[in-house]
Amino acid sequence: MDIACMERTLHRSLSKGRLRVRGVAIQRLASTVPDSDASVAYQAVISSRVTPLVLYMDLTFFSYGQDVVTLTTYHSSKPVPPAMDSRLLGLLVARARAHSR
């Protein structure tokens, strides 16, 4: 799925709820997950039409053995702190490694 398609899909999905979405912008992040077979990361910035709300969502996907794992973090008004993303990703990788088939 390309980024423009992801933006349209996310915009449509969020607009069906209570949030009045003004815009969705997604960019790919330079992220690699240590010891994973493959990884990709994106940041979505979602702005509201009604309230001065901006929601930042970081999505990291990685595969480890036969498992595919996703970490999704949200933060309002500013991007997700990198230290928080790193810590959560480290915990998730350790867990994937421990439970890998």
Q: What is the pLDDT of residues 73-90, one digit of tens each?
A: 888 888 888 888 889 988
Rounded Cα gap, residues 42 and 37, in angstroms? 18
pLDDT value at residue 101: 64
Spell out, as residue ranges, where the chain has pLDDT lower than 70: 1, 101
Query: Cα angle at 11 between 90 and 39, to 5 degrees?
Result: 25
pTM score, whole prediction: 0.79
